């Protein structure tokens, strides 16, 4: 699934934000400003010419885990080459199984995706993927409806990323348990998701009439469907660069297309009513 955006006209958004700010007394007064933004290239985004010119062992493809992952998820040969066999796999029941190279070849494990979904605790944490000193990372395949996770653990040795182990765990055994149980309903139950919207939702979206400009302000629950994106569901990926979520009361879900670098971020916060969607940015 490729990240998609739904746009509203600039004039309509101005009206929605203005109405929200004048009618709701509990939200802080806001004015709608049009600000210029600078677009930077995602480290996941390589051109076809760059991909054909670079080998998998090139320094650039190893410094950042994102660059390595971009190649890895699309290349079954690379997946086998970068696995340290036998790979120990932890099963849901707590038992372990060693996967040989022959077993891996017959059982293709890592499914390519058109996008990555990464969960952060704060905006400050969102730059962790740019750390060139990173030596460990994990990619989690989260099965939303079946409520379990398969985690692929990587280490960087001699400047090369390699897969060393696989872990299968239920939501109950994850430090993301609380949020994932909420999100599994939010992404699949329309009635539940409607009840899980904040009274005032902050938005920061690209102006469809001028992509160098942002539209920023607040909307209420009733206006959310006008700007709501396609939610990640089914089987989603979470890239862990070291994030821990044991006592998280705020989760930023960043969805980045691996094809064109487009990204969008859903912000959730936990309050007295439980988890709620409080912000959206693209």
| 42-90 per-position pLDDT tens digit | 344 444 444 444 444 455 568 899 889 888 888 888 999 999 999 999 9
**Do 136 and 237 share a structural domain?**
no
The answer for residues whose C-beta is within 8 angstroms of residue 145's C-beta and 6 or more apart is 184, 188, 234
What residue numbers bound the domain in which 145 lies?
48-112+132-170
Q: For residue 192, what are the β-bridge partners? A: none
**Do 206 and 93 share a structural domain?**
no
pLDDT tens column, 246-275: 999 999 999 988 767 789 999 999 999 999
**Do 273 and 181 share a structural domain?**
yes
Over the range 182-210, which residues count as b (16 or more CB within 10 Å of their CB) and which as e?
A: bbbebbeeeeebeebbbebbbbebbbeee
In the chain, the number of structural domains is: 2
What CATH number has the domain bearing residue 65?
3.10.450
pLDDT at 210: 84
**Do 163 and 149 share a structural domain?**
yes
pLDDT at 105: 77
pLDDT at 1: 36
**Does the residue 82 lie in any domain?**
yes
Q: Whole-prediction pTM value?
A: 0.76
Cα dihedral 123, 124, 127, 129 in deg (nearest 10): -80
**Does the residue 92 lie in any domain?**
yes
Q: Which tokens in the block code for residue 51? A: 């991909």
Question: Rounded CA gap, 277 and 197, in Å?
Answer: 5
């Amino acid at each position: 699934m490729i990240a998609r955006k739904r746009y509203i006209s600039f004039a309509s958004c101005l009206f929605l934000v203005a109405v929200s700010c004048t009618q709701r007394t509990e939200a802080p007064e806001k004015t709608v400003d049009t600000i210029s933004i600078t677009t930077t290239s995602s480290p996941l985004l390589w051109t076809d010419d760059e991909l054909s010119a670079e080998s998998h062992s090139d320094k650039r493809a190893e410094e950042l885990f994102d660059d390595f992952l971009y190649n890895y998820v699309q290349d079954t040969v690379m997946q086998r080459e970068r696995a340290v066999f036998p790979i120990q796999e932890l099963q849901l029941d707590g038992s372990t199984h060693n996967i040989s190279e022959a077993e891996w070849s017959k059982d293709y494990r890592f499914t390519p995706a058109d996008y990555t979904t990464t969960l952060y605790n704060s905006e400050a944490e969102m730059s962790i993927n740019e750390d060139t000193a990173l030596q460990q990372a994990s990619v989690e395949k989260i099965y939303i409806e079946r409520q379990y996770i398969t985690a692929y653990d990587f280490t960087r040795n001699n400047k090369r990323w390699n897969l060393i182990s696989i872990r299968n765990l239920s939501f109950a055994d994850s430090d993301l348990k609380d949020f994932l149980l909420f999100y599994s309903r939010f992404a699949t139950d329309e009635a539940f998701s409607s009840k899980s919207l904040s009274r005032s939702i902050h938005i920061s979206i690209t102006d469809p009439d001028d992509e160098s400009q942002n539209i920023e302000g607040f909307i209420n629950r009733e206006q959310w469907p006008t700007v709501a994106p396609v939610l990640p569901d089914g089987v989603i990926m979470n890239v862990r660069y070291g994030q821990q979520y044991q006592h998280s009361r705020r989760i930023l879900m960043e969805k980045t297309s691996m094809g064109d670098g487009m990204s969008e971020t859903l912000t959730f916060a936990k309050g007295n009513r439980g988890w709620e969607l409080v912000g959206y940015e693209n």
